[in-house]
A and B are shown apart, each in its own frame.
Chain A
Amino acid sequence: MKHRKSFAPLLPFKSIQSSISFAFSCLILVSITITSLASYQLAVYSAERNSEGYIEEIMKQVNTNIQSYVDNMENISLLAMTSKDVNYYISSNNFISNEDRRAYEKRISDLFQAILYTRKDIASLMVFGYNGRVVSDRRITSLNPYAVLTDQAWYRNAKTAGGKSVLSAPHVQNMIQNEYRWVVSLSRELKNSDGITGEGIFLVDLNLSVITDLCSQINLGKKGYMFIVDNDGNIVYHPKQQLIYSNLRTEQIDRVKEAASGTVFSVNDKEGKRSYTVQDTNFGWKIVGVAYANDLISNKGDIRQTFLLYASAGLIVSLLLSIAISHRLSRPIRTLQRDMKAVERGNFDTQTTVREQNEIGQLGHTFNMMVGQIKRLMQEIIHTQENKRKSELQLLQSQINPHFLYNTLDSIVWMAEQKQHEQVVLMTSALAKLFRASIAKDTELVSIRVDAEHITNYLLIQKMRYESQLEYQIDFDRAIFPYKTLKILLQPFVENAIYHGLRNKPDKGTVTVRGYESNGNIVFEVEDDGLGMTEEQLERIWKPAPVAADEVLTISPKGIGIHNVDERIKLYFGNEYGVRIHSELDVGTCVTITIPKVK
């Protein structure tokens, strides 16, 4: 019990099963939680990485597509540059008369139309010569009279770029009368044959719808979108461009401008957590994909639900398993405990059944061995104790009260002085027989005849000593003589009857000794009509004989204890046999001794 207490703070359970179950459950819980969490995080992380890679791939794709449009525009511009007609027509020192102009214009216009015919994404092709001549893909080019050429960004930028092609931001092209188209313009200055002097500006307009269609078709989750900014941070395309202009929304344009190509940065504000994937183009635009974290892993909730579900299922199964396992593990211990309790109650015949070959099985084996050992030792102890008691009693009974001997001898001497020879002879021979009977030590059990002779001799001696004061009567059924009895069984009772019952009685007393068979047992009765005993005296008689060794060995003046004789009978014949005393004050005492019929 004390040991258990010291465990109490660790696991507050009284049974091993509970402790094992609890420990298992905690272990399982912790491990399942940790693994679930870890794998969930891993799954989410890898899903995020995957989708980031995916977005980058899309951005690259968009980049490639836009790039191909721009490249096409460049190629077309090269075509114009290398066209002799175009070069000559806008050359400052040509000799084209006004009549010839129409023919030139038509040829150039046809060329442009042919190009335009193959390219649906091109809105218009135009050449503006510094000499004031203008040709477009239209047969008749009517320019918007209110659009000032030098105000146009594409015109100015191409002029300053000096022969390099320039890509404009998306704008509404208003050069042609009654046409207002959203376009992206690629413009470049056409050089004279010397390659230094500018002769005019060539313009290719790409329909912006090509780019916006491309961008709006890109699907980056439910909320994700993409946008394009140019070198200066101006928005080329943004699905919420108007909101940004109205300051209803903000965009991370500054960070995008700083970001290198291929970088990803994430933003977390009230709009939500999202990542920006930036991709540079080689014509100066930055293509940016914006994906919302929630969107990236659209099934994040599903993943979590699945994990929770599996974790719960695993947990329940393993909890049940842990209970079952702990039950199985602790069952032999409980069996052992139950058997130990039986031993505790005194049942040394208990043997526990051993099924297992493990430590608990060994424990069971050891327990069985131990119980067997204890049982054997206890029987040994009982045996030796019995032997000891028997030998003690043998010693006791071999002793004759010395007073009796002295008194008898005194009586003999007195009778000899009185010259009562016959009496002396009788008494001496009786004494001799008495001694012979008590000294005959070889056997414990004697026939009833021997004990009857012994008691006869004893009473003869006592009668001669007390003469008229004592009368006695011996009445044995001769049929019981062949049966065995304990040696010197009756003498202590007769002695007691004489010394305690009759000696102090003023008038003559009688001792009656009877022996007969009753209900298959042999019954002896020693009856006197002496003083009798009170209740207290009777009780005192039944008290065990003194235990101290010296007292056992010396005969107390009161004679051999009735208790000892009773015990001796029970030892030999069993508990159902023994001594009963019936006594009445001033009437007498009757001692009944019951022993079995033993041949």
Chain B
Amino acid sequence: MRLHRMTFILVPLLVALLVFGVLNYKLGDVSPPKARSIAFVLKTSNARSDFWQAVSAGAQAAAKESEAGLTVEGPLQDMDADAQIRMIQEAADRKPDALIVAPVHDPRFNDILHDIRARGIKLVVVDTPLALDAPPYYVANNHMEAGRQAGRTAVEATKGKLSAAIISDFPNSGVQSERERGVKDALDAHADEYDETFYAGNSEDNAYAYTRSLLLRSPGINTIIALSEPAVLGAAKALKELDLAGKVKLIGFDSSVYEIKLLEEGVLHATIVQKPFNMGYLSVKTALALVDGKRTDQTTYIDSVVVTKSNMYTPENQKLLFPFIQK
């Protein structure tokens, strides 16, 4: 009798368990994924920086799509390493699942980011390559490939008869040295001549003066590849003055209203434009994949687009050149 009493209580319970199991299985997909939190520290949160605003927009799009919590912040001033380090440490203290950093160039970051990883926070580094002991997950524009694109564009524009000069800012600036290597890579492939790289030090005036003297000195130069916006503007100014606009192919990087106008004027032959929105989007996606323990590439490269006067108003490129809608 004892046993039977147990049985008739146990059997319905078992059946009930089974039914609930089936119910849970059948409806299991409705349970929302657990909330994941991600902190994103930009190089700058300045509203005037279209690039970083687009990164932020992309990150927010990814967070909304994945239903993850996201905080985006950054120092008001670009290159403000102290403010950024403070922000990174504050963000890490909030114990997010993942931290995404677009670090300003500063030697202190190695230790700081190492410490953050030691605290179990997944780390994704964006935009600027960092030489950490253990390589972090890295989402960045493929600057080298962008350089190759610039090189190839130059080759096409001059129909192979290339005589090029390169204007950069600093010899050891992470982004620009990669662009430089890419450009040289593409030009080497065609075994064409190019002048040695001039470092204008982030100064429009230096670039202008160099271009002017270079063009006066060696009229054979038919291509100038400027690796930063100041370099482009300086070179363009010299070209316009010497009335060489369009004759000497100026190939630049990034986009600004000034560069756009130069494109329209035909002074700037082409500019290699990054996709900051995609960078923000993919960096959040990478961070989420790390949090979920999924396999993901160590390095995610984002391609760039060559924008010329003829394609600058296509729907895709308009979005890249004018990422934001001014009221």
Nearest chain-A residue to B265 (Cβ)? A146
Q: Is A426 an interface residue (CB 8 A)?
A: no
Q: Is B172 an interface residue (CB 8 A)?
A: no
Q: Mark B1-38, 1 if CB is under 8 A from A, else 0.
A: 10011011101100110011001000101111000000
B23 x A37 contact (CB < 8 A): yes
Q: Is B322 an interface residue (CB 8 A)?
A: yes
Q: Which residues of A contact B8 (CB under 8 A)?
A: 13, 18, 21-22, 25
Q: Is A1 an interface residue (CB 8 A)?
A: no
A246 x B278 contact (CB < 8 A): yes
Contact A182/B313 with A171-B318, A294-B30 known, Cβ cut-off 8 Å: no
The interface size of chain A toward B, counting residues with CB under 8 Å, comes to 51
A29 x B19 contact (CB < 8 A): yes
- Measured CB to CB, the closest approach of chain B to A11, in angstroms, equals 9
Q: Is B260 an interface residue (CB 8 A)?
A: yes
B320 x A242 contact (CB < 8 A): yes
What interface size band does chain B fall in?
35 or more
Instruction: State the CA gap A13–B4 with chains docked (Å).
Output: 6
Q: Main SS of the interface on chain B? A: helix
Q: Which residues of A contact B261 (CB under 8 A)?
A: 178
Q: Which residues of B contact A243 (CB under 8 A)?
A: 58, 61, 277-278, 281
Contact with A301, one of B30, B281, B318 (Cβ below 8 angstroms): B30
Q: Mark A294-315, 1 if CB is under 8 A from B, else 0.
A: 1001001100100010001001
Q: Mark B37-65, 1 if CB is under 8 A from A, else 0.
A: 00000000000000000000010010011
Q: Which residues of B contact A13 (CB under 8 A)?
A: 4, 7-8
- How many pairs of residues, A versus B, come closer than 8 Å at their CB atoms? 115
Q: Which residues of A contact B30 (CB under 8 A)?
A: 294, 297, 300-301, 304
A33 x B19 contact (CB < 8 A): yes
Instruction: State the CA gap A235–B314 with chains docked (Å).
Output: 12
B1 x A15 contact (CB < 8 A): yes
Q: Is B218 an interface residue (CB 8 A)?
A: no
Instruction: State the CA gap A515–B281 with chains docked (Å).
Output: 131
B319 x A29 contact (CB < 8 A): no
Instruction: State the CA gap A205–B265 with chains docked (Å).
Output: 24
Q: Is B275 an interface residue (CB 8 A)?
A: yes
Q: Which residues of A contact B320 (CB under 8 A)?
A: 242
Instruction: State the CA gap A169–B318 with chains docked (Å).
Output: 12
Contact with B322, one of A26, A182, A241, A245 (Cβ below 8 angstroms): A182
Q: Which residues of B contact A375 (CB under 8 A)?
A: none
A29 x B16 contact (CB < 8 A): yes
A304 x B27 contact (CB < 8 A): yes
Q: Mark A187-231, 1 if CB is under 8 A from B, else 0.
A: 000000000000000000001110010000000001101000000
Contact A319/B9 with A181-B326, A301-B31 known, Cβ cut-off 8 Å: yes
The residues in A between 134 and 150 inclusive whose CB is less than 8 angstroms from any CB of B are 144, 146-147
A245 x B319 contact (CB < 8 A): yes
Instruction: State the CA gap A239–B63 with chains docked (Å).
Output: 13
- Measured CB to CB, the closest approach of chain A to B117, in angstroms, equals 27
Instruction: State the CA gap A33–B23 with chains docked (Å).
Output: 9
A245 x B315 contact (CB < 8 A): yes
**Which of A239, A246, A297 has the most chain B CB atoms closer than 10 A to its own CB?**
A246
Contact with A182, one of B265, B281, B325 (Cβ below 8 angstroms): B325
Q: Is B131 an interface residue (CB 8 A)?
A: no
Q: Is B316 an interface residue (CB 8 A)?
A: yes
- Measured CB to CB, the closest approach of chain B to A421, in angstroms, equals 91
Instruction: State the CA gap A412–B322 with chains docked (Å).
Output: 166
Q: Is A447 an interface residue (CB 8 A)?
A: no
- Measured CB to CB, the closest approach of chain B to A178, in angstroms, equals 8
Contact A144/B326 with A14-B4, A174-B313 known, Cβ cut-off 8 Å: no
Q: Which residues of A contact B29 (CB under 8 A)?
A: 294
Instruction: State the CA gap A255–B140 with chains docked (Å).
Output: 34
Contact with A208, one of B7, B20, B260, B325 (Cβ below 8 angstroms): B325
Q: Is A381 an interface residue (CB 8 A)?
A: no
B260 x A180 contact (CB < 8 A): yes
Instruction: State the CA gap A323–B13 with chains docked (Å).
Output: 14
Top 10 A-B residue pairs of the complex, sorted by shortest distance between their CB atoms: A146-B264, A25-B12, A245-B316, A182-B325, A242-B277, A300-B30, A22-B8, A209-B325, A209-B327, A18-B8
Subset of 18 A-B contacts with CB under 8 Å: A12-B7, A18-B7, A22-B11, A29-B16, A146-B266, A172-B313, A174-B264, A178-B257, A178-B261, A180-B257, A180-B326, A222-B67, A240-B65, A241-B319, A246-B275, A294-B30, A301-B31, A304-B30
Supplied contacts A174-B313, A246-B303, A323-B9, 9 more A-B pairs, CB within 8 Å = A18-B4, A29-B12, A29-B15, A178-B257, A178-B261, A180-B257, A209-B325, A243-B281, A315-B12
